[in-house]
Structure 1
Amino acid sequence: MAPLNSHSYHKVLALLAVIVSLVVTTTHASTITRRLETIPYLDYTGIEAAAREAISDTLKRRGVDESDLIARELLGPRQLSVTVPSCKKVSKRKEWRDLRYNEKKDWIRAVKCLQTKGDYGISPISDTLYDAFTQVHQTNWTDFHGNAFFLPWHRWFVWVHAEAMEHECGYSGPHPYWDYTLDYKNPTASPIFSTDPEVGFGTHGNIPLREIGQGGYKVDNGAFANLKVNLPIPHFLTRNFSAWKDWDPERHWGTALGGSFSPEQVKIALKAETFWELEAAIDGLNLTTFNDPPVVPSPDTPAPAGIIPLAGIHNGPHFFNMGDWNGPFWLLGTDWFPAGVVAPNDPMFWPHHTNVDRTFWRWQQRPGKQWEFNGLKGANRTDDPALPTDLLPFYGLGPDVPVALTLKTENWPMCYTY
């Protein structure tokens, strides 16, 4: 991508200013500020300072003149007494199988604990922090799915969830990812879906539920048996491990779509030459035939060479689980479509998306890729290009932050690695 000069960036500042005014209520000339209720363990002032520094540094790396001036125009005057905090430690995330039994048990306890914590005024339907994450994920969901914002938005989202588990519920162990390439030949047989009542995520259960959407089965075993969630309406956690057969009856994609997240599919993603190509590989998008206007995708939607269409290493696990985890397709044909992207209802969302983030992180370890960010803001060829200065919206779940702040996990405030 060619370097952007200061003139090019000033052309977009007016647009960015409009975005800032729409998504943030400003209280002291800064865009990184408190909305609704503040979350006490998130350092809003420190995040503002880190965001300012990240924007300035990222633009300098791109050869943009006056990067400090641009950061000031975006974020307001610098608070002179504020410096960016440093990481007390850089934690290491681990594969689920590498956690000790008691660590798994405590992680599951902390996830459930979020159902007992207040939501800081985020969700109009429920007042629990557990449901607040689902509420935020489904709000204007097309703004951060299937476009350049998908990876940085979900990276920050998963980090805030980890912070909530630690500060609200006392979890102190490693945060897990699920490396599904270890299970791709038969995903539903993965040990993560154990029926162990203390450390298993459970299967799809035995009790059919048909209240909403395409239905599924109440999860009635494992540590999350009989878990009640509230979006789009109150119901028991639902999965359906058999629905994938309707998508792929000839098993072209392997058992339970496992071929879409095989080691080979991950290798293809990691070979992507640009960030935008990485996003396309992870989501199974075709950048040369991007829908214009966008349409509901199908298994026949073209995809990058070698990538299984539509599924990709992100969507494939969603699709074979169905139920709550499948998101909008689960609610196709109901009053809740397409707003019901309720995948965080299922605790499997977190180790899955942590692994998607790990793939992003692994790609960033290649020379020259750490700070790369490009692509489009939407699923339309005529959409505006995405910029590292663009704000990612979190609707009260902490501050809205620029993409630039999410590009290095080892930096404060995220302070983690793989």
Structure 2
Amino acid sequence: MVGFSKALAASLALFSGATAFPFSASKRQTLAIDDISKQAYANALKVLNGSISDGLTRKTECNPNTVAIRKEYGDLTTDERKEYIRAVKCILGKPSQLPAGKYPGAKSRYDDFVVVHMNMTPSVHSTANFMHWHRYYIWAYETALRTECDYKGYQPYWNWAKYTNFPSSPIFDGSETSMGGNGEAVSHKSGMPGTPAGPGGGCVKTGPFANLTIHLGPLMPTMDPALNIPKNPRTDGFGDNPRCLRRDVNNYYITNWMKPTDLAAQITGTTTIGKFQDTLQNGFSTSQALHSSGHFSIWGDPGGDVYVSPAEPVFWLHHGQLDRHWWMWANYQADQIKTRVSMYEGGTNWMNPNSARGKATDPQWLDVVTPPGTAGTQSNQLFSTTSGPFCYLYQ
């Protein structure tokens, strides 16, 4: 594990939206984000039916008639939301499959996914495989819900630009079909300089995930120290540290940095995967990063911790959208698909700017959460949502 001070500095840089490089407004296109999404979907179907080639091979059983469709959480029916919630609670209730005693804080099968992310964080953030590994990771979680908890649906996502009042959205309204409510309103300051505190900050007491106990971390906390969130008994964050799920769901980031025009500008303003990934994680000269803005729109403990954030159940909706955002970027221009889906740029360790460059043949690892038959899947098998082990699109 990297040293604490060095890791904290890097963590805050990654999750703070620090400027990566200047972005010229003159290069922005006027295409709306909804149009980008529709074009990406239409083009992806054309790839599946063979009328457009992306240069990749795919299984014959993945075709327009069999492809899975991932939907926005608010677009799910009441029954579909309840079924997703049931499946998440199911995996929260299953025992860990990690070696006994090695990770004392891993109490559940769900915690297995958190441990994997904690271990992999330095190699899968601000690296060549940021988008690719997380696509694999989200799919592995979806696969576990389906195979281990009999979930019949697919992983929903949170459309960053959809809700103007995030705390009252279907995701956080505290109803029986939500992902739980906001944290209780408590007096606190923001954990990030220059950013206002949100309306929550306390423990989640409403909705399906009320009173959820978090065991792992914190490792890189970003909440107000005055809240006295207990430290983990181990410096690596893997000790058992039972505490409540906290949230500080707010509108600051979605109002200022995650508007439909912001999403469209990030997609149309980048032409290489390197700049696309960099600006997603570090922002443009005039805007915050979409990736960190999404995490900090939820914030809390563990939601604002770059290592332990998957312990927040809405992590998967946020990163589903991150994957969708990449999918739109790669597919919305028919004449660019073949080039864009196979782009791969960056280093292999976010703590070391001089780390070895990533190769498209690099294997990706998920330890005990690996879906059967996919261990060590190469990055070039993760380029498209309809090639390699995948067969899904976003609606």
TM-score, structure 2 normalization = 0.67
1:124 counterpart (103, 113, 116): 103
Asked if residue 404 in structure 1 is aligned to residue 380 in structure 2, the reply is yes
Larger radius of gyration: 1
Which structure has more RCO (C-alpha within 8 Å, separation ≥ 6)? Answer: 2
Counterpart position of 1:331:
none
The answer as to whether partners of 1:203 and 1:222 remain within 8 angstroms in 2 is: no
Counterpart position of 1:278:
276
Counterpart position of 1:264:
261
Asked if residue 414 in structure 1 is aligned to residue 394 in structure 2, the reply is no
Counterpart position of 1:186:
165
2:245 counterpart (229, 237, 249): 237
Q: Report the alpha carbon displacement of residue 269 of structure 1 after superposing the two structures with TM.
A: 2.1
Q: Report the alpha carbon displacement of residue 317 of structure 1 after superposing the two structures with TM.
A: 1.8
- Aligned positions of 1:91-240 closer than 5 A: 91-121=68-98, 124-125=103-104, 126-183=106-163, 185-206=164-185, 216-232=201-217, 233-240=241-248
Aligned length: 293
Q: Supply the distance in 1 between the matched residues of 2:383 and 2:376 (Cα, whole angstroms).
A: 15
SS in 2 for 1:218: strand
> Over residues 152-190 of structure 1, what are the superposed CA-to-partner deviations in whole Å (9 max), with x where a residue is unaligned?
11111000000011111111024211102012x433332
Using the TM superposition, name which of 121-130 and 258-267 deviates more: 121-130
SS in 1 for 2:171: helix
The answer as to whether partners of 1:206 and 1:220 remain within 8 angstroms in 2 is: no
The answer as to whether partners of 2:185 and 2:201 remain within 8 angstroms in 1 is: no
The answer as to whether partners of 2:245 and 2:302 remain within 8 angstroms in 1 is: no
The answer as to whether partners of 1:241 and 1:256 remain within 8 angstroms in 2 is: no
CA RMSD of aligned residues (A): 3.0
Would the alpha carbon gap of residues 259 and 375 (structure 1) be closer, same or farther in structure 2, given more than 3 Å must change? Answer: same
TM-score, structure 1 normalization = 0.64
Q: Supply the distance in 2 between the matched residues of 1:159 and 1:416 (Cα, whole angstroms).
A: 10
Using the TM superposition, name which of 83-92 and 268-277 deviates more: 83-92
Q: Supply the distance in 1 between the matched residues of 2:356 and 2:388 (Cα, whole angstroms).
A: 29
The answer as to whether partners of 2:179 and 2:314 remain within 8 angstroms in 1 is: no
The answer as to whether partners of 1:86 and 1:412 remain within 8 angstroms in 2 is: no
The answer as to whether partners of 1:188 and 1:256 remain within 8 angstroms in 2 is: no
Q: Report the alpha carbon displacement of residue 120 of structure 1 after superposing the two structures with TM.
A: 2.3
The answer as to whether partners of 2:179 and 2:313 remain within 8 angstroms in 1 is: no
Q: Could you tell me which runs of 5 or more consecutive residues in structure 1 were left unpaired when the two chains were aligned.
A: 1-60, 63-82, 243-253, 285-302, 329-339
Q: Report the alpha carbon displacement of residue 150 of structure 1 after superposing the two structures with TM.
A: 1.1
Would the alpha carbon gap of residues 209 and 112 (structure 1) be closer, same or farther in structure 2, given more than 3 Å must change? Answer: farther
Q: Supply the distance in 1 between the matched residues of 2:188 and 2:256 (Cα, whole angstroms).
A: 28
Would the alpha carbon gap of residues 375 and 96 (structure 1) be closer, same or farther in structure 2, given more than 3 Å must change? Answer: same
Letter in 1 for 2:349: G
Report % sequence identity: 28
Q: Supply the distance in 1 between the matched residues of 2:177 and 2:289 (Cα, whole angstroms).
A: 31
